[in-house]
A and B are shown apart, each in its own frame.
Chain A
Amino acid sequence: MHTSYKCYHPYISPFDPCKPIQTKCYSTPPNLYMTFQPTNLRQYDTPYQALCHGTLWPDLFDPYPNVRKEGTS
Chain B
Amino acid sequence: MWYYEKKLQYPVKVSQCNPMLAKYLIEQYGGADGELSAALRYLNQRYTIPDKVVGLLNDIGTEEFAHLEMIATMIYKLTKDATPEQLKAAGLGAHFVNHDHALYYHNAAGSPWTATYIQAKGDPIADLYEDVAAEEKARATYQWIIDISDDPYINDSLKFLREREIVHSQRFKEAIEILKEERDRQKIF
Report A's interface with B, CB cutoff 8 A. Answer: 2-3, 6-8, 10-11, 24, 26-28, 32-33, 73
State which of A3, A11, A26 has its C-beta within 8 Å of the C-beta of B123: A26
Closest Cβ neighbor of B122 among chain A residues? A73
Known A6-B182, A8-B51; further 18 A-B contacts with Cβ < 8 A = A3-B185, A6-B179, A6-B181, A7-B184, A8-B52, A8-B183, A10-B50, A10-B51, A11-B51, A26-B50, A26-B123, A26-B125, A26-B179, A27-B125, A28-B179, A32-B125, A32-B180, A33-B180
The reply to whether A8 and B50 form a contact with Cβ atoms under 8 Å apart is yes
Interface residues on B, range: 10 to 19
The reply to whether B180 and A26 form a contact with Cβ atoms under 8 Å apart is no
> Using Cβ atoms and an 8 Å threshold, which residues of chain B touch A6?
179-183
| Shortest Cβ distance from residue A28 to the other chain B in the assembled complex, whole angstroms | 6
> Using Cβ atoms and an 8 Å threshold, which residues of chain B touch A2?
180, 182
Bound Cα distance A24, B179 (Å): 13
The reply to whether B125 and A28 form a contact with Cβ atoms under 8 Å apart is yes
Closest Cβ neighbor of A26 among chain B residues? B124
Report B's interface with A, CB cutoff 8 A. Answer: 50-52, 122-125, 176, 179-185
Bound Cα distance A39, B50 (Å): 34
Bound Cα distance A11, B52 (Å): 10
> Using Cβ atoms and an 8 Å threshold, which residues of chain A touch B183?
6, 8
Closest Cβ neighbor of A73 among chain B residues? B122
4 pairs of A and B residues whose beta carbons are closest in the complex: A26-B124, A8-B50, A10-B51, A32-B180
Bound Cα distance A36, B123 (Å): 23
> Using Cβ atoms and an 8 Å threshold, which residues of chain B touch A7?
184
> Using Cβ atoms and an 8 Å threshold, which residues of chain A touch B51?
8, 10-11
The reply to whether B182 and A3 form a contact with Cβ atoms under 8 Å apart is yes
Bound Cα distance A2, B184 (Å): 11
Closest Cβ neighbor of B127 among chain A residues? A26
Closest Cβ neighbor of A7 among chain B residues? B184
Bound Cα distance A28, B126 (Å): 10
| Shortest Cβ distance from residue A1 to the other chain B in the assembled complex, whole angstroms | 9
> Using Cβ atoms and an 8 Å threshold, which residues of chain A touch B124?
26
| Shortest Cβ distance from residue A70 to the other chain B in the assembled complex, whole angstroms | 11
